[in-house]
Amino acid sequence: DAGVTQSPTHLIKTRGQQVTLRCSPKSGHDTVSWYQQALGQGPQFIFQYYEEEERQRGNFPDRFSGHQFPNYSSELNVNALLLGDSALYLCASSLSQGEATNEKLFFGSGTQLSVL
């Protein structure tokens, strides 16, 4: 049973460029959340996708966008990269249970993005 997989594992970009990160959820899961984790800090919620739509969004600018595909996989896109976007980007999957959100998250190992 495959867990959450993310690609690539590492990425180096320069300021102003655009980047796309990919995530495949755990088998049987239908919901994908993206988090940004700066060095030495806790993960910060970017947004969550369910049924191919953004269901909730954190306090991130519009440069951060995403997509969910019919097979539940997801992409995170970041435009006009800034030095401050350097971080570990974590994808987490879960099985939606309607209004209840007590389901635990299953995380991938993340994509380490460095912006030079």
* Contact set with other proteins (CB under 8 A): 31, 33, 35, 40-45, 48, 50, 55-56, 58, 88, 90, 92, 99-102, 104-110, 112
Neighbours of 107 (CB within 10 A): 18
Closer residue to other proteins, CB minimum distance, 90 or 115: 90
Nearest to 93, CA basis, from 76, 77, 112, 74: 74
52 contact partners, CB below 8 Å, separation of at least 6: 67, 68, 69, 70
User: Nearest distance from residue 45's CB to other proteins, in Å?
Assistant: 4
Closer residue to other proteins, CB minimum distance, 45 or 75: 45
Closer residue to other proteins, CB minimum distance, 3 or 20: 3
User: Nearest distance from residue 56's CB to other proteins, in Å?
Assistant: 5
Closer residue to other proteins, CB minimum distance, 18 or 109: 109
Which residue's entry shows tokens 């495949």? 24
d(CA 83, CA 116): 6
